[in-house]
Amino acid sequence: MDAKDKQIATDLAYEIIREVSRAIRPYVGKPESAEKVKMGADGTPTSLIDIIAEDKLINILKNAPVLSYIVSEEIGELKLGRGTKRSITLTQELRREDLEEDEIPKFIFLIDPVDGTNNAIKEIPAYAISIAVANVTQGRLATLDDVELGFISNLANGNFFEAEKGKGCWLNNEEVTPSTNVNISKMTLGGFTKSGTSQASKLVDNARRMRVLGSVVLELSYVASGRYDAFLDLRGSRIIDIAASKLILEEAGCTITNKYGQKLNNKLSIYEKAVVVAANNKILHKQLIDILNDNQTDFIGKVGVISRIDQTRPILFSAKVIEYLLTNGREVIIEKRLAHELTQLKENPDIDNIIIKVKEEYPEIAHLLDDINLDIDFKQLSENIFDFDCDMALILGGDGTLLRAQGKMNPDIPIFGINMGTVGFLTEIEAVHTFEALNDILKGDYYKEKRTRLVVSHENHKYSAMNEVVVMTDKTAKMLHFEIQVDGEIIEEVRADGLIVSTPSGSTAYAMSAGGPIVDPKVEGFIIIPICPYKLGVRPFVVSDNSEITVKLLKKGKSAVFVMDGQINEEAEYEEEIKFKKSDKDAYFIRTSTKYFYEKVKEKLNEGGIH
């Protein structure tokens, strides 16, 4: 966007702000302004005052001498200008290759005509219009990085924020300055949290004061101008609300990221949302991120190493990992069986040829095995896995290796999985990225993801599972008859080959293959899936993870086996009950990317995870 285009966009933004302010003024504080006219394009109800504001800005851009794309709260996505108005899908429009040069718009406007509608209706002076102007990126999707100009005007009092990328940020034509506070106990915090968010409660309890004004765009701007020290929206803000605010904050020298401290660069779309954490400076921002993630980015000083031992590749690679950790000043303990295999490997007279063969079979990690050092006393570092006491357990293998290890260790020990199996859905990275990831982790650039575990009770015995428990017949091709209760209420009697009770973690494993839904790990629930039920109408259930699930065998003379995570097998007889509850102890995974789950679903499950 050159200087001339920026001036055109700025003039249009000024006109929109001026005319919207005039248009809604007679409706502020009037009960009829609250009338719900329709559902907006973003899925929220649209009030009369919103429609009046949006109609005004659409008319201005429609009659402008240049073409523009617009993303707006109520009407969605349009192409406007030169007297025309046409509905579009922005992500598709930007990828079109059939547009003539004079048909390509100059700007993408992202506009929330009235942010804080309820405040305007009740005449509370905190409602604003937000306008961001982005480059048109014909041939690719546009993102928040493409925003060049930002304008926010408090329509109640006329306070006017504007920013230009790389040039600075102003409030009423004076450069803004954020606060210098770095102390949470002295912090003024604005924002929206979600019910049951204990981490956010810690922030609120520690802050000096908390503000909730009901206008995301204004409150984010208040961080830039020093009125607030920090702002967060854990519900997820719409991109149209944060596009201008983000630029204003960044140009003022503030920090704005997602919950995990990662840069916001979402695509520009009416449907896009992002969790937002903003602060006046990096020091305060880091404290917010640590608290929101349960202060989980602790120093990793002691690492336990576990590996599958049925293949040479992971055993050999574990030696390289152990050497790296020791070289970086970390204390290392090695699972006893792995230490034994490593000792045997280094004493093998054919070790050089073994290394060459592994490098030939797995060329993607060949360079990582150069100069491998086996001159380590692995036995001296060995320890029983049940006795592991460390800051992180590093597991080389697939999901089976990870589940076996997790079931034997103290569940408080966070796990970092390196995929050396077939699919590796639960693992964090592929082997080729190991040392880049470890470098980040040892610097503290990681977070801990919490996963629900199951406690299984049967005949005064208790077992645990992280993925699922499968109840099945102990005789081939024979059906079982189950009674399923949730919190004491019978929800189903079913004849089936078996039954799966799964956590969200296990929803992408056996449960998915048996016809169950894929469930985000953040969902607080359990899935009950009958395996090949006799009745056509029997379907999977998703129940709260605060519930107790009871499964009873009803067929006399038939016994069943129940299997925890494919590892532990136990038997159940006629009329015996198997009870399932959420464990008091969660499992923890060390993650280096927030895009873990859905990215893995696409990558690993598209072709069965086999390349």
Q: Which of 568, 567, 578 is nearest to 528 (CA)?
A: 578
Are residues 65 and 124 located together in one domain of the fold? Answer: yes
Burial class (CB in 10 A: 0-12, 13-18, 19+), 513: exposed
Radius of gyration of the chain (CA): 29
Tens-digit pLDDT profile for residues 437-452: 999 898 888 888 889 9
Provide mean pLDDT across the span 588-605.
Answer: 75
Residue 488 confidence (pLDDT) above 60: yes
- The verdict on residue 591 lying in a domain is no
CATH number for position 474: 2.60.200.30
Provide mean pLDDT across the span 208-220.
Answer: 90
CATH number for position 442: 3.40.50.10330
SS3 233: strand
Provide mean pLDDT across the span 23-42.
Answer: 82
Place of tokens 């961001």: 132
Q: Looking at 292, 325, 354, which one is the last position of a domain?
A: 292
Helix (H) or strand (E) holding 232: strand 230-238
Place of tokens 């973003």: 42
Helix (H) or strand (E) holding 36: strand 36-39
As for how many domains the chain has, the answer is 4
- The verdict on residue 297 lying in a domain is no
* Distance (Å, whole) CA 398 – CA 324: 21
Domain of residue 124 covers 3-175
Are residues 134 and 222 located together in one domain of the fold? Answer: no
Are residues 330 and 207 located together in one domain of the fold? Answer: no
Neighbours of 464 (CB within 10 A): 18
229, 399, 545, 565: the active-site residue: 399
Note the pTM of the prediction, 2 decimals: 0.60
Mean pLDDT of the chain: 89
**In what side-by-side order are the strands of the sheet with 68-72?**
84-87, 76-81, 68-72, 107-115, 128-135, 147-154, 160-164, 168-171, 174-175
Tens-digit pLDDT profile for residues 225-270: 999 999 999 888 899 999 999 999 999 999 999 988 888 999 999 9
Q: Is 387 a catalytic residue?
A: no
Q: Looking at 157, 175, 193, which one is the last position of a domain?
A: 175
Instruction: Let me know the angle formed at the C-alpha of 466 by 598 and 463, rounded to the nearest 5 degrees.
Output: 170
